[in-house]
Amino acid sequence: MKKTSIIILIGIAALIVSLLLFSVDFSTYDTIASARKKEGKFVHLIAKLDKTQSITYDPINNPNFLSFYIVDSLGEKSKVVYHNSKPGDLEKSERIVLKGKMGKDYFDCKDILLKCPSKYKDDKKVLEKSMKEQTASN
Amino acid sequence: MIKFEGEHLLPGQLGHFFVILALVTSLISLISFFNASRIDQIEEKNQWLKFARINFFIQAFSIIAIFSTIFFICFHHYYEYMYAYKHASKELEPKFLLACIWEGQEGSFLLWAIWHSLLGVFIISIKNKDYKNTWQAPVLTVISMAQFFLMLMILGIYFFDIRIGNSPFTLTRNEIPAPIFSQTNYLTFLKDGMGLNVLLRNYWMVIHPPILFLGFASTIVPFAFAYAGIQTKKYGEWIKPVLPWALFSACVLGVGIMMGGKWAYESLSFGGYWAWDPVENASLVPWLILIAGVHTMLIYKATGHSLRASYFFSILTFVFVLYSTFLTRTGILGDTSVHAFTEAGKAINVMIGLLVLSFALPMLSLFFIHYKKIPAIIKEEETSSREFWMFMGSLILFISSLFIIIITSIPVYSKTPFLKDLIIKIHNGPLAMPEDAEFIYNKVMIMVAIILGFITATTQYLKYKATPSAYLIKNIKYPLIIAIILCISISILYPFTFHKHGAGFLVAIYIAFFCSVYAVVANAMYIPLVLKNNFKSASASISHIGFSLMIAGMLISSSNKQVISDSKVNGITLPLSNDAMAKKQDNPTENLTLIRQMPTRMGDYEVTYLKDSMGNEKGRSFYALQFEKKEKNNKKIDESFKLQPDVYLMKDNNMSSNPDTKSFLTKDVFTYISFAMNKERNADTAQFKVVEIGEGDTGFYRNGYYILNKVVKNPNNEKYHYNPNSIALMADITFVSRDSMRYRSTPLVEADSMGILQYDDTVYAQNLFVKFVGVSDHHKIKIGIKESDSLIDFVTVKSYIFPYINLVWLGLVIMAFGIMMSSLKRAEINPKLASIILTLVSAGLIYMFLLAN
């Protein structure tokens, strides 16, 4: 077998892999409204915690049930159910990326990624806020 | 101009001066090294070289001075400086001071620049004639150029309205618009800094960034030598001097990446050492290409083939290091990565982009322009030759790295004009990772592992040029047979149980496991069979053994990872009361709530949450969890250990969790707190109910009854220590709950010259507070009992068992040893020194990865 023919074979293999990749069901970033149109499809939502509604988490009864409400930049709201423990900084988060499927009554969340101000030290607004808190307490 | 009180402005001015000095001298040394490299006339060349070297030394010194200044500022908590305010704080343990320097963008650029300087100085100091006359000038040209760019990143000077780079010496009052800065004594209010992100307070965070950055920094050497090869038109001669460097870089970068994995495993709560996170991928990709490059260089040295590929891989390695800088530092990964840097401003993003392009574009075009001039052998390799299969292996490594980077770059596509619109059109929305993001990598990489395992095993037994098949069969049959037997027996004794992705994937795991075992056996047996136990030339075999062992360890520990905190086994948890959807759930839940003092079953263990205690730092609590494994028949405890995972609870209920791991030879028990209650928010409103009771009497409480066993005068036991002259009484009470569990409680009252002291006791499992109130007539005592709802003290944990994870670390250490050995041998370092270096390196790695815990 010649080297070139092997390389061609590997090239074909790479092509098959890339075709396979296309067949993978890549997800999308959606708003709550557009996710409702794709009920049952795995999507990524970017939203905020709706602080007007309460968070339900009772770890003594069930440490694997968390529910809360989110609101996205268009003002659309939705209930979220997450079968896992409550991320510690949920209340503090500025932005939440939720991965999961939109159902009839709520968003069935598989994974949560929080964007917290504490991680955003380079953000000017956060610095200002922290400075105000500190100097005000003195 | 206002004069502020108490500011220390000198260090900042000094630091800033050194930044500018380093910038200017690196530019001068860039130009003079470049000139020196183009001049053939010896005398003039040497003059330029001398001038260039002086400038390079000055910039190296300046960079170290800048670093020392930042360290000084953070060490003394000079919060007038933004960097100290943002990254340091007074409660921080001193060992984390270094970590807070590389937490920020500026600090990590500086770390990178320090390594470049040291590598540059080292290359200058090499006495070899070829180095001096041929390689020094062009190689240092490239390094000086990198230094110039890195200094630009931390320059912080305004050019018209655009700030070039972010200086680490900016003043807090200039950066944050707050009213406080109108007061001249503002520093008296600025008592503490924001401190180091709690996730980073781990000793791996102190050591892993320097090693990783040494790995990144050292990839510039093969890149620079590739440039030197083209620039000097000595197209093939750079391979011999560059090989030790490439190997060194492969070793350090490999170790650095796995240190990052170990850090994630030990201090982050994503439950493992590798998550295919974009930040991890971004450093893995250059390593894979570098390994491909090392192999093509070896081919070239032995046969003269694959020179062009060596150029290509050397260039791409550094280009992908730069690209990974771009990915992780511009904030472009934003929503996809757990631990990417955050965006530090548009201007700096543009500069990082320029950095990538100004190295990648000229060098790649140089390569393609000179492509035809780079010598290549027309005749193709024999299929039975070693070089042929080595090249195939390199190709596979390269393709797999491309695959990883294509997937990792998905967030970039959505930010590229045109492409973005195209994706939205085709895909019906911005592209995001699929539901199981890890599987997309795993299902391709398992194929790569299969092929690589097979090639690393077999290729060792092939000869360069061509191999007679009788020779191959004679040598390879024993390793093959042993590997098959070994694999079958392991599969029977300890089968893989990873069914999540179906039978097909399980079969792939078995094949990959066989291939990696085969690679370990074949490479190990190569030493006695072919090398006749000549260990000096066994470095390749050792590296391959390490690599394959690591892959085998990854396959076992990931496939047979076991969640033991499964709620299904939990006795306390009311079965999913408020969760209507629960029955449809396919993957079992992973969190378990442990109530204080109440033993709970978790896998083979009975786990009891004993107590919590405060750490040294503000808001840090440790939770003591007792793990006990009992024999089924006689209930004898045959395994018992304590884990102390900890949590940083912030005042706003922010939480960050650090796992704790018990390491056995064959498995790790890994546990972290997934939810903990914030004590301060839990005010208790219940009241004590006082009863009179005599020895032997019983009483009732909400959940059962209790007996006063006896009253002990001046007890001297494990809890209390009184001498006969004290005045102390202890009540010994047993609480028996409805489910016949017995709990002992021993409240105490003591009278001394100061008055009366009461030591209350608690029965957490029954929500009880017990107080010894006092003594009454007729040998009776008064006991106060409080039954509280909010008293329940609990933690919610996640707990995994990683079997045979030590194989991963052991494999890594062996691999690093092998690569280092090869590097030292090819650098022709004298054997004594080489063995000292090797001993130190391996001792350090064994300690860090296997012993320290």
Q: Answer whether residue B747 shows pLDDT above 60.
A: yes
Whether the predicted pLDDT of B486 surpasses 80: yes
pLDDT average, residue stretch B360-370: 96
- The Cα–Cα gap between B452 and B774 comes to 77
Nearest to B577 among A17, A61, A115 (CB): A61
Domain regions of chain A by residue span: 25-121
Residue A136 is predicted with a pLDDT of: 61
Spell out the alpha helix ranges (H) of B460-560: 469-493, 502-529, 539-559
What's the rounded mean pLDDT across residues B657-676? 88
Average pLDDT over residues B651-670: 80
Per-residue confidence (pLDDT) for residue A125, from 0 to 100: 63
Please give the Cα distance from B703 to B384 (Å, whole number).
79
Cβ contact, residue pair A134, B189, below 8 Å: yes
Q: What is the pLDDT of residues B396-429, one digit of tens each?
A: 999 999 999 998 998 888 888 888 888 888 877 7
- Alpha carbon distance B398, B316 (integer Å): 10
pLDDT class for A23, splitting at 50, 70, 90? Answer: low
Top pLDDT among A7 and B212 is at: B212
Is the pLDDT higher at B759 or at B343? B759
Question: Would you state the pLDDT for residue B476?
Answer: 92
Nearest Cα residue to B42 out of B140, B139, B132: B132
Cβ of residue B407 closer than 8 Å to a chain A Cβ: yes
Partner-chain contact A21 B407, CB within 8 Å: yes
pLDDT at residue B402 in the model? 92
Among B377, B31, B375, residue whose Cα is nearest residue B234: B375
Categorize the per-residue pLDDT at B574 as very low, low, confident or very high, splitting at 50, 70 and 90.
very low
pLDDT at B66: 96
B833 touches A: beta carbon within 8 Å? no
Yes or no, beta carbons of B796 and A59 under 8 Å apart: yes
- Which among A88, A97, A135 has CB closest to B180? A135
pLDDT band at B579 (very low <50, low <70, confident <90, very high): very low
pLDDT band at residue B586 under the 50/70/90 scheme: very low
Which chain A residues have a beta carbon less than 8 Å from that of B677?
Answer: 59
Q: Is residue B2 less than 8 Å (CB to CB) from chain A?
A: no
Determine the pLDDT at residue B508.
Answer: 92
Using the predicted structure, report yes or no on whether residue B728 has a pLDDT greater than 80.
yes
Q: What is the mean pLDDT of residues B480-503?
A: 91
pLDDT in the model for residue B678: 66
- B692 neighbors B780 (Cβ within 8 angstroms): yes
* B164 phi and psi angles, rounded to 5 deg: -85, 110
Token pair of B117, please? 């300087």
A119 and B342 within 8 Å at the Cβ level: the answer is yes
Mean pLDDT (chain B) is 87
DSSP string covering B748-814: EEEEETTEEEEE-EEEGGGTEEEEEEEE-STTEEEEEEEE-STT--EEEEEEEEEETTHHHHHHHHH
Residue of B nearest to A110 (CA): B435
In chain B, residues with a C-beta closer than 8 Å to the C-beta of A15 are none
Round to whole Å and give the CA distance between B214 and B554.
25
pLDDT at B575: 38
Q: Do strands B794-803 and B592-595 pair parallel, antiparallel, or not at all (unpaired)?
A: antiparallel
Counting Cβ atoms within 10 Å, is residue B18 exposed (0-12), middle (13-18) or buried (19+)? buried
CA triplet B432, B434, B440: central angle to 5 degrees? 120
pLDDT band per the 50, 70, 90 thresholds, residue B105:
confident
Instruction: Of A23-27, B475-479, B538-542, B836-840, give the lowest mean pLDDT range.
Output: A23-27
| Among the ranges given (B171-175, B574-578, B681-685), the one the predictor scored with the smallest mean pLDDT | B574-578
CA separation for the pair B26, B529 (Å, rounded): 52
Pairing of strands B755-759, B748-752: antiparallel
Amino acid making up residue B603: G
Residue B651 binned pLDDT confidence (cut-offs 50, 70, 90): low
Segment B802-825 mean pLDDT: 96
What does the pLDDT average to over A48-69?
Answer: 86
Q: Does B429 touch chain A (CB under 8 A)?
A: yes
Per-residue pLDDT, B248? 97
Interface test with B, best of A2, A25, A57, A131 (most B CBs within 10 A): A131
If you average pLDDT over residues B789-817, what whole number do you get? 88
- pLDDT in the model for residue B443: 86
User: What confidence tier does B233 reach under pLDDT thresholds 50, 70, 90?
Assistant: very high
pLDDT at B582: 37
Q: Tell me if residue A111 falls in helix, strand or coil.
A: strand
- CB distance B585–A121 less than 8 Å? no
pLDDT of residue B573: 40
Residues 6+ apart with CB under 8 A from A12: none
Give the least confident one: B20-34, B44-58, B114-128, B691-705.
B691-705
- B287 touches B250 (CB < 8 A): yes
Please tell me the predicted confidence (pLDDT) of residue B685. 60
Chain B interface, best mutation among A20, A29, A62, by max B CB count within 10 A: A62
Provide mean pLDDT across the span B540-562: 95
Report the distance separating Cα B294 and Cα B291, nearest Å.
5
Per-residue pLDDT at B650: 60
pLDDT band at residue B572 using 50, 70 and 90 as cut-offs: very low
Query: Phi and psi for B328 in degrees, rounded to 5?
Result: -85, -20
Predicted pLDDT of residue A126: 64
pLDDT band of residue A123 (cuts 50, 70, 90) is: low
Topology annotation, domain A25-121: OB fold (Dihydrolipoamide Acetyltransferase, E2P) (2.40.50)
Pick the more confident residue, B342 or B379. Answer: B379
Q: Are B435 and B359 in contact (CB under 8 A)?
A: no
Mean pLDDT for B325-330 is 86
Give how far B376 is from chain A: nearest CA, Å.
14
CA torsion through residues B721, B722, B727, B732, sign: positive
| B504 touches A at CB < 8 Å | no
Mean per-residue pLDDT, B323-342: 73
Reply yes or no on whether the pLDDT at B438 is more than 50. Answer: yes
Q: What is the pLDDT of residue B796?
A: 87
Of A59-63, B578-582, B623-627, the poorest mean pLDDT is in B578-582
Q: Quick check: helix, strand or coil at residue B745? A: strand
Which segment of A35-39, B411-415, B455-459, B815-819 scores lowest on mean pLDDT?
A: B411-415
For A:18-77, CB contacts with B below 8 A are: 21, 24-30, 34, 42-44, 46, 56-65
Residue A107: closest CA among A61, A57, A46, A59: A46
pTM of the model: 0.87
Sort out which chain A residues have CB atoms less than 8 A from B173's CB and list them: none
What is the pLDDT confidence band of residue B525, given thresholds at 50, 70 and 90? very high
- Report which secondary-structure segment, H or E, holds B735: strand B728-737
Mean pLDDT of B820-849: 94
- Asked if B591 is an interface residue toward chain A (Cβ–Cβ < 8 A), one would say yes
Confidence tier at B377 by pLDDT (50, 70, 90)? confident
Chain A CB contacts of B428 under 8 Å are: 28
For residue B568, the model assigns a pLDDT of: 55
Least confident among B376-380, B408-412, B453-457, B784-788? B784-788
